Amino acid sequence: IARAHVHHERVIPGVYGLPLGHYITHQLGATQVVLRKAAMRTFAKLMAAVGSTALLPALLRATEHPRNAYIRESGCRLIILALLTNSSVRRFDFDPPSLVRSVAALLHDSSERVRVCVMELLALLAQRPPRNAAALDVVALLRPVGLDPHSALAADLRSRLANTSLALPSINADGL
């Protein structure tokens, strides 16, 4: 046991030899809710410390996870958190059309929770564009990545974007 402990001490700087972001992303897919929430809080604290822009590539990789819907949903939720906490102090620099195209595949996800989450992300981008950005035509941005403007999915998306009476995502008491 002592040898194994020493071995792990040599590897710890990256948590079992993996980059810290990869390890925390993996925890977003844990089966225990407590671990998933702890990983979300850790990402939120990292965003506060290093800025959301630095974590965007890791969050986009999380939305592309091939097997775990919890990880894809959490990645999308963390992008929403980055957008909501964007301020002049903690600037979140990104290209809105590029972000829309990056999450477009999630509209076809097998998990309903992921599809709903990405619709909320797109509604947030459309109704609250970032500073100095023009209003986004999300449906037009999604056409080049394969969204048929006459499909049921496009109709659902247009309906969500047009219904401004529905509440946009917000930050809860836990900061998530």
The SS3 call for residue 170 is coil
Task: Kindly state the percentage of the chain with pLDDT values over 70.
Answer: 81
Rounded average pLDDT over 9-20: 44
Extract the tokens encoding 169.
């995502």
Give the C-alpha separation, 91 to 47, whole Å. 10
Running DSSP on this structure, what letter comes out for residue 108? G
The tens digit of pLDDT for each residue in 84-96 reads 887 555 566 788 8
Look at phi and psi of residue 64 and say left if phi exceeds 0, alpha if psi is from -120 to 50, else beta: alpha
Confidence at residue 69, expressed as pLDDT on a 0 to 100 scale = 94
Give the C-alpha separation, 70 to 161, whole Å. 24
Sign of torsion over alpha carbons 146, 114, 158, 170: negative
Give the C-alpha separation, 48 to 78, whole Å. 12
The tens digit of pLDDT for each residue in 121-160 reads 999 988 887 777 777 888 888 988 888 888 999 999 999 9
For residues 48 and 73, which has the higher predicted lDDT (pLDDT)?
73
| Cβ atoms 151, 107 nearer than 8 A | no
Rounded average pLDDT over 158-164: 89
Give the C-alpha separation, 25 to 19, whole Å. 10
Extract the tokens encoding 15.
């948590």
Confidence at residue 1, expressed as pLDDT on a 0 to 100 scale = 40
